[in-house]
Structure 1
């Protein structure tokens, strides 16, 4: 597809601040929530980036502050990343060299399948589909460069 934009180095591309908008759809209940905020990828001591996301999550009419932290480390091939939770547990791999990447993350009995798409120099998107006995969700996130 022509909408994908190859990225030679995922960490270099992601560095900086991004405006974030996310929809969360529960396919079982048809409930829908939204997250709006910012994600900042700042240099880690050593190699890699610290990903910090913060904003407001609205679910069933109730707004709450929300945040998360991840670590994006250099991957096994040039230009790729090894994404880890803040406590260093593995999350997923990331390779944007074609502009699109699909990856999985097993979480207990549920499976998270993520699709990353680079739209242009200042916009990218993720779609996570979560399925299993505990969850049936689609999380769609748009990122727009803020700096």
Structure 2
């Protein structure tokens, strides 16, 4: 997925590219345990100050249990086509720059380091790989997003 031979799709404006609905398939791994998330993501303008929302909803399967799961991120567009991403409560998360079709974001959360690699493969598909390392964490979350056509 993130091979240097992967052809990437350049994206001059991250939020214009992401706008709309996407299916999400995510593989989860944590210290030898595995699971999955299947659902949908929606990217849309959230309020009048130009902020966007990234809302995911679906089903997670983990440790023999299946339950509903979701998350919301806030995204503020920047004039150069990038975006500042924050958690739902407003805490900063990372910058998102898809202009070259690939971006690596780093977020330090206490002793845990989150490294996310975004790879845009086409107008209708992108991949996200989060590797999380820390004293008590050894996680890998690998996601495939595919555009939902109306």
Give the TM-score range, shorter chain: over 0.9
| Equivalent of residue 75 in structure 2, options 69, 72, 77 | 72
Once the two structures are superposed, the pairs formed by residues 61-140 of structure 1 within 5 Å of their partners are 61-75=64-78, 78-140=80-142
| Equivalent of residue 23 in structure 1, options 16, 24, 27 | 27
Aligned to 1:59: 62
Offset from partner CA, 1:59-117 (integer Å, 9 cap, x none)? 01210110100011113x51101001111100110100000000101111100000000
Quote the offset at 1:121 in angstroms. Answer: 0.2
Quote the offset at 1:47 in angstroms. Answer: 1.2
| Equivalent of residue 10 in structure 2, options 6, 13, 26 | 6
Q: Contact between 1:24 and 1:139, CA under 8 Å: does it hold in 2?
A: yes
5+ long unaligned stretches in structure 1:
none
- Superposition TM-score, scaled by structure 1 size: 0.94
- List, as ranges, runs of 4+ consecutive aligned residues in structure 1 with deviation greater than 2 Å: none
Quote the offset at 1:48 in angstroms. Answer: 3.1
Quote the offset at 1:44 in angstroms. Answer: 2.0
Q: How far apart, CA to CA, are the structure 2 residues paired with 1:69 and 1:130?
A: 19
- Superposition TM-score, scaled by structure 2 size: 0.92
RMSD between aligned residues: 1.0
Q: How far apart, CA to CA, are the structure 2 residues paired with 1:33 and 1:44?
A: 31
Aligned to 2:143: 141
SS state at 1:78 partner: coil
5+ long unaligned stretches in structure 2:
none
For these two proteins, the number of residue pairs brought into alignment is 144
